[in-house]
Structure 1
């Protein structure tokens, strides 16, 4: 970490420092799971406080290079507000800004272009509920039609309308998106949807129809997943909190200096 970055980190509020570390860890985990697209795509976080400021990756860095100190602070229009000259892919913030503006509970947003995610996004019927992971998301996933590369600010209103109050969205012909009140929640939701896509794509390779699950079973599975499994079977725990904490311990054990 250079001297300027060290001074900047020391001047941060404890809340922003924690947000930076959680977001940097999120980038490293996406790298670990292979949910990356070279230097493109983003994971963003709202900075705690009255300003409408957000953290995003410095354009040009790989996810494996992201640290708490090299995240860039921007405003709702993607303009850098932290006094640095860091390059930011502002058009790439279009999707994220729309949701951050509209949803007070969307503190973290992640968007991916995984092969399995894009494959399912291109399918006529979208995500199937008829596997272990898909069943957990039955009735939970929103869809947004492809309008071209998402650089048109005019798309933001339509995208927000498509998402509604869901925390899971498939951008048709494009990829996957999840959001959450915490990094843990957004990550765990992406893990659920990515795994559902992986199983669905592999099942499609068999060239046979999926064996359907009963509607009552699907309803019960969603309830179990959303209220029990994802909360570590403890109603007082945050969504995905235990899983995220375990993965951060793994990053620390590997000596990945994402906190710097």
Structure 2
């Protein structure tokens, strides 16, 4: 079984989505952004309204393969014959985003040390690095309300996210979304790197130099030039080639 030969019972579009999502899980593990078996990355199943792919609960991200991903509905109830369990509570945040952001085909959530550290800071992400400019062009915040288990929190999270593709969950972690897995991953890579730079800069104890507001405000146009209008696809093929060399079983 591989990315060019989907199982007989599955559409090529779903298989391609599975391969991309499995790749994202492996890349998160490769970059050491995972948190044992916790946090999730979800993706819509193409041409199947209300169906999503998510990791089997209890698997390390480095173990995820295209075929092990579980298809669920908006209530995180399995809609395929997967033998694996899922974590409905872990899908709460994701389902909130998918319900109102039909452009957000992929939602990625992490609990990295740098991400959580910045999420605890009153001022949040600071405009002190080139990396910070890209998420600051569309960054939102959601206050901590305890473990994300309550349905009533969804409405507030949805309102806080709005049209942003990057969200800092206060005292909790980071979330990014995008129209493709590639977009969500690149958004997370840049947001995570900006948080790492901020924590490293603050550890020096020196006064930090903020980037001028006009530069921050002009970053959207500059970002389109940098990615040549490709968004996450500017890096995604290279990332897949790396996985093909080092962990080709993600496509199984």
Please give the range of the TM-score, normalised by the shorter of the 2 chains: over 0.9
Residue matched to 2:234: 242
The answer on whether the counterparts of 1:138 and 1:222 sit within 8 Å (CA) in structure 2 is: no
SS in 1 for 2:218: helix
Residue matched to 1:103: 101
In 2: Cα distance, 1:8 partner to 1:249 partner: 19
In 2: Cα distance, 1:173 partner to 1:9 partner: 42
List aligned pairs for 1:152-167, cutoff 5 A. 152-167=150-165
| 1:67-91 superposed Cα distances (whole Å, 9 cap, x missing partner) | 0000000000011110234210110
The answer on whether the counterparts of 2:52 and 2:74 sit within 8 Å (CA) in structure 1 is: yes
List aligned pairs for 1:220-231, cutoff 5 A. 220-225=218-223, 227-229=224-226, 231=227
Residue matched to 1:4: none
* Unaligned residue ranges in structure 1 (runs of 5+): 2-6
List aligned pairs for 1:129-140, cutoff 5 A. 129-140=127-138
The answer on whether the counterparts of 1:58 and 1:71 sit within 8 Å (CA) in structure 2 is: yes
Residue matched to 2:47: 49
The answer on whether the counterparts of 1:118 and 1:175 sit within 8 Å (CA) in structure 2 is: yes
| 1:47-66 superposed Cα distances (whole Å, 9 cap, x missing partner) | 01143100000001000000
| 1:159-185 superposed Cα distances (whole Å, 9 cap, x missing partner) | 100100000000000000000000110
Residue matched to 1:190: 188
TM-score, L = length of structure 2 = 0.95
| 1:101-135 superposed Cα distances (whole Å, 9 cap, x missing partner) | 11110000000000000000000100011211112
List aligned pairs for 1:5-44, cutoff 5 A. 9-44=7-42
Residue matched to 2:117: 119
Residue 255 and residue 190 in structure 1: after superposition, are their counterparts in 2 closer, same or farther (change >3 A)?
Answer: closer
Shift of 1:208: 2.1
RMSD of the TM alignment (CA)?
A: 1.5
Residue 140 and residue 51 in structure 1: after superposition, are their counterparts in 2 closer, same or farther (change >3 A)?
Answer: closer
Task: Please point out which of 85, 88, 106 is paired with 1:87.
Answer: 85
The number of residues matched between the two structures is 249
* Unaligned residue ranges in structure 2 (runs of 5+): none
Shift of 1:195: 0.5
| 1:17-55 superposed Cα distances (whole Å, 9 cap, x missing partner) | 000000000000000000100011100000011431000
Residue 139 and residue 198 in structure 1: after superposition, are their counterparts in 2 closer, same or farther (change >3 A)?
Answer: same
The answer on whether the counterparts of 2:135 and 2:187 sit within 8 Å (CA) in structure 1 is: no
Residue matched to 2:74: 76
TM-score, L = length of structure 1 = 0.92
